[in-house]
Amino acid sequence: MSKAILYLEDGVHFFGEALSFVGESAGEVVFNTSLSGYQEILTDPSYAGQIVVMTYPLIGNYGVNDEDSESSKVHVKGFIVKEFCRHHSNFRATKSLIEYLNEQNILAVEGIDTRALTRHLRVKGAMRGLISTKDFDLNSLAQKIKKVPSMEGADWVKEVTTKEKYIWKNSEDKESKQKYIVAAIDCGIKFNILRILTNKDCEVHVFPSNATVEEINKINPDGIFISNGPGDPAAVGHVKETIRAFLGKKPVFGICLGHQITGLALGGKTFKLKFGHHGANHPVKDLLDNRIGITSQNHGFCVDIDSLNKDDVELIDINLNDQTLEGMRHKKFPVLSFQHHPEAAPGPHDAQYLFDYFIEMMKEYKK
């Protein structure tokens, strides 16, 4: 254990103890209210460039395993908890969370008053922070934090998107019976999205975020999917233009960052939330079926409801905590998108039916 400091850009700082991996790391500091699912959080590409603070006080009690990762590596810049569990217990576990974080060279800190830190972020908003185990000079840290890149205006998608196109295959794939060909634009896609689409009889071709309309049309897809991902949707204008080219021509379905990019493609605007939505307990009302689901969310930006043309776009999901936009569909074209993560299953299956909407759109399109 080594002494560690978390220094925030407004000068507020907290001391704690780092695990065996030491050094310095910086990013935007956000808090997550989930009680579990830490392995999925750590490996969610949407957290690229961010330091995650867990509000639940004890993290790591069920270890980690080889099946629950949402990508091939950990993407967070740092991980802060009140206390790490030293003795995990779960028949699926292959190692401890501490072992996993150290193997991935992630600066993980415990002993910080996470309640005080969370309250500060709620009042002041998410902000840049720096974790250090070697520099405790406040003047020095103040100068270093000025060089930390902001989440606003920067293209973080290029840091996480696939470099080459590939076709996703589930590990338990039985005899292929794919009915629909889906072009998935990878802005930081999560594995479980790919698993669910494949299980719903889709052949999923995953494209880099900079794929052209011509490259995507070569596979003659039945539908276009835009994935979740990190950062500012306004900074990935090339994806917006790609989606705009398919509006009215192919069914389009977006999740999280993909929802925001779809909003931009439809002529809307996005804005940065004060401290974002990060957790697995966000209530969302489905205005079509008049039902409420408990959803998983991870985003710092949002589509401005008032910026959308109500003659063209129908609002179908609303966040019950702050009334922000959670879902929309086009009134004329087969276009549908959601801000929350229907694949993350905190409910556990409150929102997975939303994938069926996409399947129905493709079914109608094929006719």
pLDDT average, residue stretch 184-198:
97
Give me the helix-helix angle, 257-265 and 237-246, nearest 10°: 70
Please indicate whether residue 341 is annotated as part of the active site: yes
How far, in Å, CA of 67 to CA of 230, rounded?
A: 22
Of 9, 203, 326, 343, which residue is the catalytic one? 343
Q: What stretch of H or E contains 303? A: strand 291-303
Give 157-366's CATH code, choosing from 2.40.10.340, 3.30.300.30, 3.40.50.880, 3.40.50.1450: 3.40.50.880
What percent of the chain is predicted at pLDDT more than 90?
A: 92
Total H helices, total E strands in the chain: 9, 19
Query: Does the pLDDT of residue 348 top 80, yes or no?
Result: no
3-state SS class at 13? strand
pLDDT digits (tens, 9 = 90+) for 41-55: 999 999 999 999 999
Please indicate whether residue 172 is annotated as part of the active site: no
Rounded to 5 degrees, what are φ and ψ at 79?
-135, 120
The pTM of this model reads 0.95
Of 120, 187, 202, 256, which residue is the catalytic one? 256
Question: Checking DSSP bridges between strand 291-303 and strand 270-286, what pairing results, if any?
Answer: antiparallel
pLDDT digits (tens, 9 = 90+) for 72-91: 999 999 999 999 999 999 99
> What is the predicted pLDDT for the residue at 173?
58
Please indicate whether residue 343 is annotated as part of the active site: yes
Indicate the pLDDT class of residue 20, thresholds 50, 70 and 90.
confident
Report the chain's mean pLDDT, rounded to a whole number. 95
**Contact call for residues 90 and 59 (beta carbons, < 8 A):** no
pLDDT average, residue stretch 1-17:
96
**Contact call for residues 29 and 8 (beta carbons, < 8 A):** yes
Query: Does the pLDDT of residue 38 top 80, yes or no?
Result: yes
**Contact call for residues 342 and 317 (beta carbons, < 8 A):** no
pLDDT average, residue stretch 163-182:
82
> What is the predicted pLDDT for the residue at 175?
55
Q: Domain-by-domain residue ranges, the chain?
A: 2-145, 157-366
Q: Spell out the CATH class of 2-145.
A: alpha beta
pLDDT average, residue stretch 253-270:
98
Query: Does the pLDDT of residue 146 top 60, yes or no?
Result: yes
